[in-house]
Amino acid sequence: MVGRARYTRYVALGDSQTEGLWDGDDTTGLRGFADRLAERLDGLHPGLQYANLAVRGDQIRDVADVQLPAALAMGADLITLCIGMNDMTRPGTGFERALAQLDHVHRALAASGATVVTTTFPDLARILPIGRVLGRRVLTINGVIRSAAARHGFALVDLYRAPSMTQPDTWSPDRVHGSPRGHLLFAEAAAEALGLPGSSHTWATADPHARPPSLRSRTYSQLLWTQNMLMPWLWNHLRGRSVGDTRGARRPELSQLAG
């Protein structure tokens, strides 16, 4: 897809990945791929107005009901959408309903006239200890996203097919969110999808010098992940809680980046 020569109002939609978790922190400030992309756009054409409506824990329905109407009201000319992880990992029968809501989001974005960048999910079976359990859902939602991108003319970032997405240093310790390097790669991927000057497909290339972790290291890492990440998530889910229940978007209004 060929994007506009210049963007003036960029709105990012999504969950914790777009919010920027593990690229900075809540004390020093989060950055994330959306901020990195905004910085690149502003470097090309200063004066960009940028809002990030993503909230950790949000599902597709939250984008459809809250984030999407806000983005459309802002008159965004560029929108990035990365959503669905919390729907895939939620047990039960609501996944098909979530996909129908995603179709609604895609149609509304297409009708808005904005340039839209959307993304598939990486191969979770090669990243998460429980990734194989989610394999069918990953393939299903990726098929929906690819079809929507082709049908509506969205710019597509295909993380599933990128070798760099299987490397451990792309991901934070929780194996769900990008590390700072991962967020940088995500931003580079979006820049390529938009055809920005200086962008290329190198973000997708695996580091040939990276050494895979040993079996002992992988086993220990999986034990830590189960203890520190999976069990707290299951406990919150059983209580009907989300990590974003008391949070709002960190950039709820369009504003220029700090100089």
The burial class, CB within 10 Å (0-12 / 13-18 / 19+), for 184 is middle
Could you give the CA distance from residue 52 to residue 73 in angstroms, rounded to a whole number? 14
- Domain interval for residue 67: 9-210+248-256
The CATH number linked to 168 is: 3.40.50.1110
Number of structural domains, the chain?
1
Contact 55, 19 (CB under 8 A): yes
Is residue 151 a part of any domain in this protein? yes
Please report whether residue 235 resides in a domain.
no
* Residue 189 lies inside a defined structural domain of this protein: yes
Sheet holding 49-52, edge to edge: 155-157, 115-119, 78-82, 9-14, 49-52, 251-256
- Count of Cβ atoms closer than 10 Å to residue 156 Cβ: 19
Is residue 234 assigned to a domain? no
Average model confidence (pLDDT) across the chain: 89
pTM exceeds 0.75 for this model: yes
> For residue 230, is it within any domain?
no
Question: Tens digits of per-residue pLDDT, 105-160?
Answer: 999 999 999 999 999 999 988 877 667 778 899 999 999 999 999 999 999 999 99
Asked whether residue 140 is assigned to any structural domain, the reply reads yes
pLDDT in tens, 60-81: 999 999 999 999 999 999 999 9
Model pLDDT, residue 15:
96
Q: Does 216 reside within a domain? A: no
Confidence band of 1 (pLDDT split at 50, 70, 90): very low
- Residue predicted with more confidence, 238 or 242: 238
Residue at 1 is within a domain: no
Taking the C-alpha atoms of residue 9 and residue 128, their distance in angstroms, rounded to an integer, is 35
